[in-house]
Amino acid sequence: MSPTVRQDAYGTTPDGRAVHAWTLEATGGLRATVLTLGASLAALTAPAPRASPGPVVLGLPSLSVRTGDHPYLGPVVGRYANRIAHGRFTLDGTEHRVPVNDRGHALHGGPDGFHRRVWRAEPTADGTGVELSLHSPHGDMGFPGALDLTATYRLAGPGTLAVDYRAVTDRPTVVNPTNHAYFNLAGHGTVHDHLLEVSADHYLPVTTEGIPYGPPEPVAGTPFDFGRPVRLGGRIADGHPQVRAAGGLDHCWVLRAAGPGELRHAATLAEPSAGRRMEVWTTEPGVQVYTGNNLDGTLPGADGRPLPQHAGICLETQHLPDSPNRPEYPSTVLRPGRVFRSRTEFRFSTKN
């Protein structure tokens, strides 16, 4: 049976913009709710062998909370996900500046990034999802070039939520979108008892401000080695200086090589009590793992209960942070006449 796709009114932002919710539902219990505000994955429900179908991403209780300040619960962030050092980069000999919003650096496209925009939306031609589109004019948050970006969420087979990105520009720019959902496969509490595996032999150490300070380093012999499933709580509490400085994990893993446009395994997250398991596959070269270190119990979740520190984990498939200033990293430059494409799949199962 084909997935069902439904659009509903969700509310109006304080400045009068109408927001809609798109619900994608498939037989078997996978259901996603996507908001046009920020192209946000606002809710995701998945089945479990030892529990009823339940929420697996952190949500927010209302539109009024979502339009306020929160640590990117579910939106597509851009034009450039992650950090650009000092909000500056040079492209073709011209320096560009993005407003800084994180310890003197630009984070997730700046303070008025794509997470704050209301995107246009329509069902996909095959009826399996929703395509959201956004026009970002030349100079938007300091980025050069007018950019047209689409983010398409679709239910792509049993237990799979796929997110596709496509972008074109009218002059050279940089682009690096990602989804910023916080996963909790138990649906409550923290992710300390979750098991994480990451398909990477190297990661990027960072300064205390989250900026990579050199080339990728081997994960072997460090708390960043997730070559086999490892309980997150032990690694979050590790005394390694990189972990202590971040209050947990907030680092980019460099994924093992794959062909252009080829899906590669990025990570597997499992939660033993409910029995849920999620594989992340992507065409991107990196995954930023962030364990909700800055959640502090002041933000209410979808059920109104406070979200404690480490209530969720983000697995942000993307190019590497600060790539516009690092010619040795894979390029994030998009030029006229070229098409940026990226795909990430979240594959849910109940096998242990």
* Strand-pair partners of 95: 90
Active site residue 197: no
Q: How far apart are CA 265 and CA 243, in angstroms?
A: 24
Identify which of 49, 7, 74 has the alpha carbon closest to the alpha carbon of residue 159.
Answer: 49
In the chain the first and final C-alpha atoms are separated, in Å, by: 26
**Residue 314 φ then ψ, to 5°:** -95, 135
Q: For residue 186, what are its two tokens?
A: 């138990």
State how far the Cα of 233 lies from the Cα of 156, in Å rounded to an integer: 32
Q: Is 140 helix (H, G, I), strand (E, B) or coil?
A: helix
* Nearest alpha-carbon partner for 251 in 281, 207, 196: 207
Q: Are 142 and 34 in contact (CB under 8 A)?
A: no
What's the alpha-carbon Rg for the chain, to the nearest Å? 19
Whose CA is closest to 40, among 104, 108, 128?
108
With contact defined as beta carbons under 8 Å apart, do 174 and 323 qualify? yes
3 state SS of 241: helix
> How far apart are the C-alpha atoms of 201 and 150, rounded to whole Å?
32
The gap from C-alpha 81 to its chain's centroid, in whole angstroms, comes to: 8
- Cα dist from 147 to 15, 77, 122, 124, 190, whole Å: 24, 14, 19, 21, 38
Catalytic residue among 131, 279, 284, 316, which? 316
| Residue burial 141-164, b: 16+ Cβ < 10 Å; e: rest | bbbbbbbebbbbbbbbeebbbbbb
Beta bridge mates, 102 = 105
Among candidate residues 105, 108, 115, 180, the one labeled active-site is 180
Q: Would you state the structure tokens that stand for residue 6, as one six-digit string? A: 């439904």
**Active-site residue flag, 70:** no
**Which residues are catalytically annotated?**
180, 316
